Chains A and B, each alone.
Chain A
């Protein structure tokens, strides 16, 4: 399998503090990587660098061989961070239309309606995001991420704070992505959901990768196994 994403010797400093230390990671096309680690381990810092939202202090990140900050590369990535990244003053349809234009989606109106339908928001398409319930906003955020049919998805704790319906929508879209050979990288504390979806697992501890490899049966049988085996006592 070819590498969809390669991280080579990435360091990230905040002042003198090394948040990431010599990260080397390869994610193959079509795989789903669960990035695990305790709070403050460096997961979000690494995902921000993978998404091109932050530059590494040292090292490089390439996506399909190209620099992650290139516009053509960014077009292939979908990013869902901690925030929903939606404008409160815009309607659901306006929010999605905005990002459809920014990503150069072909036939944006049709795609927007399609994603509103997939996330169960077609009846509130003209409602302002600020008037939505938390669950509806989360589904709209999910629709935004999948809008441009990304080849690589980068999700930072995607299941945190989602309601049941949003989790179902996200899992359905992720399964569809996986079936179509797309690459998913997600950090999470919800080990059960993540490990069921993952084909590969990487564990980060104090800014260093301590395990990177295929998901193993032991991880599914006992979600604490990985932390006990590779994590800190």
Chain B
């Protein structure tokens, strides 16, 4: 698992294909929306929009970054070599998910800093809780993106199919993450008994387990 994750991250940092595109996209969207929702305008309560805005940016950026997760293995038939190797397919899936998770997290933290600057929002007040929510919300995006990337790897229209499949499936996790992020940026502390937090944690566990069980069938048939 760690070998696969290290390989994917090393490849990504040498080509910077996904990180450049996703980061540029995230910052551009945040800048554009900062003009649409003028943070200086007292009629606009930015902390009420912040959760939705941030997770919309995160999820769109994730789709860009995740599209090539398995597609990059098609070059030179590398996927065949990985499937022939004596490792469980779940290790392949989890390794790729970990690499995607680290990549998305880096993009999101940089985007969060940009969000704080452009929208004059104090993201430091509940930073630890905010990072926890980002971690919990990013894991299902990475896991689902990796899983659906495996499903769509042999499709001609995979760049189109991945977002079509991933967004509806992510709705429960995104709604929970938006609710929690909005609350934190509004100044409310994170509560362990918060329903949204429970949904997010449950979604992470259930979806990861289902993907680990099904990945062999998806990859080898």
B86 and A75 contacting across the interface, CB-CB below 8 Å = yes
- Contact of B41 with A by CB under 8 A: no
- Contact of B78 with A by CB under 8 A: yes
Q: Is the interface of B mostly helix, strand, loop or mixed?
A: helix
- Contact of B81 with A by CB under 8 A: yes
**CB-CB nearest 5 A-B residue pairs:** A83-B77, A85-B81, A75-B86, A102-B85, A74-B86
Stretch in A93-101, A160-168, A198-206 with 4+ CB within 8 Å of B:
A93-101
A52 and B220 contacting across the interface, CB-CB below 8 Å = yes
The answer to whether A71 and B84 touch (CB under 8 A), given A54-B221, A83-B78, A87-B78, is: no
B7 and A87 contacting across the interface, CB-CB below 8 Å = yes
Which B residues form the contact surface with A (CB < 8 A)? Answer: 3, 7, 10-11, 14-15, 75-78, 80-88, 220-221
* Chain A 42-76 interface mask (CB, 8 Å, partner B; 1/0): 00000000011111000000000000010111110
Residues of B within 8 A of A87 (CB): 7, 11, 76, 78
Report the bound CA distance from A117 to B109 in whole Å: 45
A interface residue count range (under 10 / 10 to 19 / 20 to 34 / 35 or more): 20 to 34
Report the bound CA distance from A86 to B76 in whole Å: 6
B220 and A102 contacting across the interface, CB-CB below 8 Å = no
Report the bound CA distance from A105 to B80 in whole Å: 19
Report the bound CA distance from A81 to B76 in whole Å: 10
The answer to whether A102 and B3 touch (CB under 8 A), given A71-B86, A71-B87, A89-B15, is: yes
Q: Report which residue of B3, B77, B82, B220 has the largest number of chain A beta carbons within 10 angstroms of its beta carbon.
A: B77
- Contact of A115 with B by CB under 8 A: no
Residues of B within 8 A of A211 (CB): none
- Contact of A90 with B by CB under 8 A: yes
Residues of B within 8 A of A33 (CB): none
Given contacts A53-B220, A71-B88, 8 further A-B contacts (CB under 8 A): A54-B220, A55-B221, A81-B77, A86-B76, A89-B11, A89-B14, A99-B85, A102-B86
A79 and B86 contacting across the interface, CB-CB below 8 Å = no
- Contact of A40 with B by CB under 8 A: no
A85 and B78 contacting across the interface, CB-CB below 8 Å = yes
Residues of B within 8 A of A86 (CB): 76, 78
Nearest CB on B from A112, distance (A): 14
Residues of B within 8 A of A52 (CB): 83-84, 220
Nearest CB on B from A198, distance (A): 23
B80 and A83 contacting across the interface, CB-CB below 8 Å = yes
Residues of B within 8 A of A124 (CB): none
A53 and B78 contacting across the interface, CB-CB below 8 Å = no
Residues of B within 8 A of A71 (CB): 86-88
The answer to whether A102 and B221 touch (CB under 8 A), given A83-B80, A85-B81, is: no
The answer to whether A89 and B10 touch (CB under 8 A), given A53-B84, A102-B85, is: yes
Task: List 12 A–B pairs whose Cβ atoms lie within 8 Å, in order of A's numbering.
Answer: A53-B83, A84-B77, A85-B76, A85-B77, A85-B78, A86-B78, A88-B75, A89-B14, A101-B3, A102-B82, A103-B85, A103-B86
A82 and B87 contacting across the interface, CB-CB below 8 Å = no
- Find the A residue at minimum CB distance from B14: A89
Residues of A within 8 A of B15 (CB): 89
The answer to whether A102 and B87 touch (CB under 8 A), given A55-B220, A87-B7, is: yes
A72 and B81 contacting across the interface, CB-CB below 8 Å = no
Residues of B within 8 A of A98 (CB): 3, 7
B10 and A94 contacting across the interface, CB-CB below 8 Å = yes
Residues of B within 8 A of A104 (CB): 86
Report the bound CA distance from A90 to B6 in whole Å: 12
Residues of A within 8 A of B84 (CB): 51-53, 74, 77, 79
Residues of A within 8 A of B14 (CB): 89, 128
Report the bound CA distance from A71 to B84 in whole Å: 9
Nearest CB on B from A26, distance (A): 22
The answer to whether A82 and B3 touch (CB under 8 A), given A71-B87, A72-B86, is: no
Nearest CB on B from A138, distance (A): 11
Nearest CB on B from A101, distance (A): 5
